[in-house]
Amino acid sequence: MTNFVHDLEIIELRLGEAWEAFVVEKTIHKTANKEVDPTLSEKINRHGAFWNTVLLALQTTAIAGLYATVDDSSGCVSLDRVLRKVLKLKTHTNLKPFQSDIHTIRARYKPYRNNLFAHASRDRSKAIDDFNTENFSWDDLERDFHTVDHIWKVLWAANRGEKLPDKMETPHQHYGHNTAVSAAQKHVERFLQDWKGAG
């Protein structure tokens, strides 16, 4: 067993927070769509300023948090840092392709992370509009979260000296962050229905 458990626990917390924010935002958009539920959509639009604030906060958390899991900044606890440490041990050289996956995700989200979280731009809403027009779909984001989740689970197994799971296995492995993400989705669905029925 290597001694990366502390780093991996920190990354799991950040991954869980970001993924929860993503599924809550996605569920609100999908459930409150006027084609899906006109009543709920109309009710949300009556409180537009509040819901815009909520959705901006969720999107900021999702993008900044996902980016943080692959950040290569000095001193940052991330999958990039853990993977580099593992590869230096030369015990799991088969994990080297993960470097490319991490680089791809980092390059994809860095411009938006800088605008939304580091305030590199004064116009945060323009950053959101740019993000939405760059062909980022819910499926794209979901895929990237699953990729990060897979890498985390493989590194967790490597840290514990266990058999490394493959991509077919990791979606069926449930850790604390997976449970929290599932709960967040169920709770926001229940909240929206309860709120719609409240009059």
Summarize pLDDT for 115-143 with one digit per residue, the tens. 665 555 555 555 555 555 555 678 889 99
Cα 37 to Cα 58, 61, 191, 192, 193: the distances in Å are 21, 26, 14, 11, 10
Domain count, the chain: 1
Residues of the chain with pLDDT under 70: 1-2, 114-136, 199
pTM score, whole prediction: 0.88
Residue 120's domain spans which residues? 5-197
Which secondary-structure segment (H or E) carries 11?
Answer: helix 5-31
CA distances from 177 to 36, 114, 126 (A): 29, 25, 31
Count of residues in the chain:
199
Residue 85 phi/psi, 5-degree rounding, is -65, -45
Distances (CA, A) of 48 to 33, 41, 44: 14, 10, 6
